[in-house]
Amino acid sequence: MSVLKKIIYGLLIGWLGAFSLLTSSAQADGVTNIVMTGSDRQADGSGQSDSTLVVSYNEGTGQVSLISLPQNLMISIPEQGEGTLAEAYSIGGGQLVADGIEEWTDASIDDYLTLDMAGVAELIDEVGGVTVYVSESFEQDGYSFQEGDTLTMDGSQALAYMRHLPQEGELVSKQERQAQVIRSLGEELAGEDLSAFGYIKLYQNYSGYIDSSLGKMEMINLVKELIQSGSGLSYHELDEQTTPDQLQMLLQS
């Protein structure tokens, strides 16, 4: 298995559950779409959506697309009117985000999966940290990040790095930083050279951080399938100017 594929497969063990229906319940057009949200719980116990990805799988071509959406993207919210992805999550969690994207794009969304980012931090600590190149200087949550540094971050520092909202004059998006951490975490997991049982155990250890419309066995079976999967992957980062038609095209391709 190539390093790239291992990185893909290890993107976040909790989020791997989003692929569990890829081969078993594709729609008539052969495309399965699953919305993934990352929930960032604050010190006061409140939670908010910190990231939103749509996984789109084309059974005919074997292509897997990760589509990253900004939290200020305006969508249709069922029975609420228009609102941002973050607002949809605060009202009805991952299910309402999925329903809203489906209504907004008129493209089928099959399932949703929400991962508490505290689980990501714990997993990062377990693998010994993630290494990331810092391309812009900023401060966040008591941490100082300096341009040009290559840092090996623990879970808490990595969450701060991903949490930072770009200020005026900063060019690196929050989505880009999140992708950096996810890729580095994937590399660390790939280096573990986990057996099928190892992936299952990882899922079991972190399932408490997951809320999903997917069943437990679907997620566990998926972890096994991904080890042998040969699917390609493409990554798309969209902005707040994205139109329903543009997202629909990606979800149906």
Please write the tens of the pLDDT for every residue from 12-21.
444 444 444 4
Report all structural domains of the chain as residue ranges with CATH numbers, in order of start.
3-251 (3.40.630.190)
- State pLDDT tens for residues 89-145: 999 999 999 999 999 999 999 889 888 989 889 989 988 999 999 999 999 999 999
> For a pLDDT cut of 70, what percent of the chain falls above it?
74
- In contact, 130 and 158? CB cutoff 8 Å: yes
Confidence (pTM): 0.76
pLDDT for the residue 58: 78
